[in-house]
């Protein structure tokens, strides 16, 4: 049964993960395996080849450790799609940025997103190095921006830190906390900005 959201919150039904590296790929598969459509975006086509290897490992883990059936795995793959252009992910309600920990790269991406994404879109960074206040000014929507930081061993250590900035709207924060629960993560609600774990 779906969770009941407080006034102002909404259920997330479509996600885009920006960056098909090790953690971005794991996040995408976790989202898809828990019944939510996800688009995995990257500018490097070779990243998707590496992502498919990660998916294969996660598929095996789900089958062996979490008793996922072949039908469950097939459903997860059916919920995954790929994009090379940012314009292709603009229908997502939540964009999770998981690109390298480089401030200039992140700044450039968020400036592009500010001009493309719908104003209601929630933006989240998976950064462990930068806190939301360091990035929010580039997003064009600081009130709808926060950090959603996943553990590297995402399946075994299924935790996700949720950190807002002083400008993050409470309903946005609460929506992302609930999204973390919906994808079988244990949300760790950080009440103060802090980099690292």
Band (pLDDT 50/70/90 cuts) for residue 196 is low
Three-state DSSP at 119 gives coil
The pLDDT of residue 45: 85
Q: Calculate mean pLDDT across residues 1-14.
A: 57
Strands (E), the chain: 14-18, 37-41, 80-83, 94-97, 122-125, 145-150, 159-164, 186-190
Give the orientation angle of helix 45-65 with respect to helix 22-33, to 10 degrees: 50
Q: What is the largest CA-CA distance in the chain?
A: 44
The pLDDT of residue 86: 96
Q: Calculate mean pLDDT across residues 110-122.
A: 96
The pLDDT of residue 1: 26
Rounded to whole angstroms, how far apart are CA atoms 168 and 197?
A: 20
- Report the predicted TM-score, pTM, of the whole model to 2 decimal places: 0.92
The pLDDT of residue 84: 95
Looking at the chain, the whole-number percentage of residues with pLDDT higher than 90 is 83
The pLDDT of residue 2: 34
The pLDDT of residue 155: 76
Mean pLDDT in the chain?
Answer: 91
DSSP assigned state of 146: E
CB burial of 34-61 (b: ≥16 within 10 Å; e: otherwise) equals bebbbbbbbeeeebbeebeebbeebbee
Token pair 């997003």 is found at 139
């Amino acid at each position: 049964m779906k969770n009941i959201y407080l006034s102002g919150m909404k259920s997330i039904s479509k996600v885009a993960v920006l960056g098909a590296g090790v953690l971005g790929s794991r996040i995408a598969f976790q989202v898809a395996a828990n019944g939510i459509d996800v688009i995995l975006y990257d500018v490097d086509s070779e990243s998707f080849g590496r992502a498919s290897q990660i998916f294969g490992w996660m598929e095996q883990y789900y089958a062996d450790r979490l008793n996922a059936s072949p039908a469950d795995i097939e459903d997860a793959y059916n919920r995954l799609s790929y994009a090379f252009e940012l314009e292709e992910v603009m229908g997502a309600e939540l964009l999770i940025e998981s690109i390298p920990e480089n401030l200039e790269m992140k700044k450039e991406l968020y400036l592009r997103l500010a001009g493309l994404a719908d104003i209601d879109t929630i933006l989240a960074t998976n950064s462990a190095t930068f806190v939301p206040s360091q990035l929010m000014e580039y997003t064009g929507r600081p009130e709808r921006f926060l950090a959603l930081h996943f553990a590297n061993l995402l399946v075994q250590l299924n935790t996700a830190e949720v950190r807002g900035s002083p400008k993050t709207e409470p309903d946005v924060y609460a929506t992302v906390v609930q999204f973390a629960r919906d994808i079988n993560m244990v949300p760790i609600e950080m009440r103060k900005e802090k980099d690292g774990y």
